[in-house]
Amino acid sequence: MRVARVDPAGRPLENRRRQGAQAIGIVAGWVVTMLLIFWATGSSDRDGAAVPWLLALGVLSWALAEHIAGRRGLVWPGSALGIVGPLSVGLGLSVVTPEMRAAAPEEQMAVLAGVSAFLMSLFLFRFRLPGLVSPVVTFTIVALFLGLYGADPERLKEVEGFSPRGILAAMMRSPVWVAGFGLLSALAVFTARRLDLKGDDFGLASARPLHVIGAGVLALVVGRGLALLPQPLNLILLAAEWIVIAVWALRINRIGVMFTAHLAMTRPLVLAIAGPLGLTLTRTDWAWILIAICIGGFIAWPTLHEQSLRRNWTLGPGGRIPQPRKNWWWRYWPYA
């Protein structure tokens, strides 16, 4: 099997435009094929006429991946197959029996997400496709959330966006989940850094989503924990966490980690400031706060990164010190 070569951001090192066009073509072809299957079988949510075709589509995706990703080493088309194939099988298995077809939509979605995550992980490790790391984690957490809470409106209100960190934010009521995901996120950050320093192409590219997901969840857990402390200790420690996140992001040369982790801990930090002042924040206020954090991060990063380079603090993917580029803007986040 030919191993796909990628840079630390997961991008292929050759034929990037062609691979991008091929991946888009695979997804578009899958959508058309799905529509044709449901049209030809006259399938609905009350029968399983399309199930054999959906399972066959998953098998076909694996066979094509063996050639496209396994023999030719094409990472983006292989990743596209690694998503559409598992989704086809997951959709088929979510309505494979009369009982499952009669189940609530959120129960069917839980099966779809769980099966898809498992099959995507097989594509991930068989064909070494780092682009599947984030989908595997996201679909796993979606399956877990829906399996535990279904379409509970109160829980859904606490979801902070369709991302692992955003979904887990709605599961932070239980100390067991907080402790479990805190340990897993710390392990993800540790593993990502080891891959950064000692991994091959696949390891370096896989480190990127592990860094982002792990840092976001860990910042969420730590931030929620510090928010429970009395004033002003909680504010002092939350501010320290904010600084530590920025320093660590500079160390590993990944601006995405800084944004993800800062956004994850924004809520407890802002509430620690607004609470004593008696301020009540609306959704519009929160939106402007998040926008300000993103803009402020983009403005501050170049200067902070420059100072980090001068002090030999930044040691990015591959254990390399970033080298200046002709375009001054992009020198600061080559492996974001």
Q: What is the mean pLDDT of residues 325-336?
A: 53
Kind plus residue range of the DSSP H or E element containing 99: helix 98-101
Cα separation, 77 vs 19, whole angstroms? 6
Q: What is the mean pLDDT of residues 35-43?
A: 85
Could you read off the pLDDT of 265-291 as tens digits, one per residue? 999 999 999 888 888 888 899 999 999
Kind plus residue range of the DSSP H or E element containing 21: helix 16-41
Contact 202, 175 (CB under 8 A): no
DSSP class of 10? S
CA-atom Rg of the chain in angstroms: 22
What is the residue-wise DSSP string for 271-302?
Answer: HHHHHHHT----HHHHHHHHHHHHHHHHHHHH
pLDDT at 3: 65
Which stretches does DSSP call E strand in 46-144?
Answer: none
Question: Predicted confidence band at 176 (pLDDT cuts at 50, 70, 90)?
Answer: confident
Q: What is the mean pLDDT of residues 125-147?
A: 92
Question: Predicted confidence band at 165 (pLDDT cuts at 50, 70, 90)?
Answer: confident
**Torsion angle of C-alpha atoms 114, 264, 225, 286, degrees rounded to 10:** -120
What ranges do the domains of the chain cover?
Answer: 1-151, 163-336
Please give the residue that has the higher pLDDT: either 333 or 286: 286
Cα separation, 336 vs 323, whole angstroms? 15
Tokens found for residue 159: 């979801």
Tokens found for residue 195: 């891959």
Q: What is the mean pLDDT of residues 36-65?
A: 86
What is the residue-wise DSSP string for 57-77?
Answer: HHHHHHHHHIIIIIIS--HHH
Could you read off the pLDDT of 76-134 as tens digits, one per residue? 999 999 999 999 999 999 988 888 888 888 899 999 999 999 999 999 999 999 999 99
Tokens found for residue 284: 């519009």
Tokens found for residue 13: 């090192």
